[in-house]
Chains A and B, each alone.
Chain A
Amino acid sequence: AQSVTQPDARVTVSEGASLQLRCKYSYSGTPYLFWYVQYPRQGLQLLLKYYSGDPVVQGVNGFEAEFSKSNSSFHLRKASVHWSDSAVYFCALTRTGGYKVVFGSGTRLLVSP
């Protein structure tokens, strides 16, 4: 069975600072990995996805993530955060050829002025 762990429930960073949100997965095969963001009272929006190829994938609004098979990780990064980035971020996984998305528990990001 596959699983996703987001070890940080809450992260606070200052506006303009860099950001890394951690994600570790457990799956014996090659996973399809996603980062979603959820703003208050809204559904989940896809930030970026990784299927194969270059381990660094670019997403919307300056976000990027790096896949590491050796570390079973898919950390999310941003060089300079904005107050509007405050939201809950979910890392997610599907198995090869699968459809059921397994989500992490989410990391609540607060960007302070």
Chain B
Amino acid sequence: NAGVIQTPRHKVTGKGQEATLWCEPISGHSAVFWYRQTIVQGLEFLTYFRNQAPIDDSGMPKERFSAQMPNQSHSTLKIQSTQPQDSAVYLCASSFSGGVYEQYFGPGTRLTVL
């Protein structure tokens, strides 16, 4: 079991460019979560998929951020027109199912927007 895989581990973009972050959940897990981690805000929930369907995106900024899960083996988080304030570590987690089961986290993608 390779755990949750996130690529790339580090990404540097210029202001206004697009960034796409990838997550491969643990095989057999039906729930996928995205979080953002910053020094100031700590760990913030962004969005949640169950069985590939978007369930809750209440934490996603309304503009420029979008997430998809086209198949059970990967999810993407896309940030359009990146801004310096988007700089953060983006963490993906998966669980056996949404709800009470614990979430397993990937190593994160550190996004730096210059």
Cα-based distance from A32 to B33 in the complex (angstroms):
17
Cα-based distance from A76 to B80 in the complex (angstroms):
40
Cα-based distance from A9 to B112 in the complex (angstroms):
25
Interface size classification for chain B: 20 to 34
Interface size classification for chain A: 20 to 34
Among B14-22, B61-69, B70-78, B97-105, the one that faces the other chain is B97-105
Among A16-24, A41-49, A60-68, A78-86, the one that faces the other chain is A41-49
B25 interfacial by beta-carbon distance below 8 Å:
no
B26 interfacial by beta-carbon distance below 8 Å:
no
Mask, B83-114, CB within 8 Å of A = 1, is: 00000000101010011101111111000000
Contacts of A34 in B (CB 8 A): 102
Choose one: A45, A97, A100; the contact of B45 (CB below 8 Å): A100
Cα-based distance from A43 to B37 in the complex (angstroms):
10
Question: Quick one: given A100-B45, A100-B48, are A32 and B100 in contact (CB under 8 Å)?
Answer: yes
Closest to B55 in A: A99
Choose one: A43, A45, A49, A99; the contact of B108 (CB below 8 Å): A43
- Residue of A46, A49, A99, A104 ringed by the most chain B CB atoms within 10 A: A99
Contacts of A41 in B (CB 8 A): 107
Cα-based distance from A32 to B108 in the complex (angstroms):
24
B12 interfacial by beta-carbon distance below 8 Å:
no
Question: Quick one: given A44-B105, A49-B102, are A101 and B45 in contact (CB under 8 Å)?
Answer: yes
Within 8 A of A (CB), among B16-64: 31, 33, 42-43, 45, 48, 55-56
Indicate if the CB atoms of A44 and B99 lie closer than 8 Å: no
Choose one: A43, A46, A94, A104; the contact of B107 (CB below 8 Å): A43
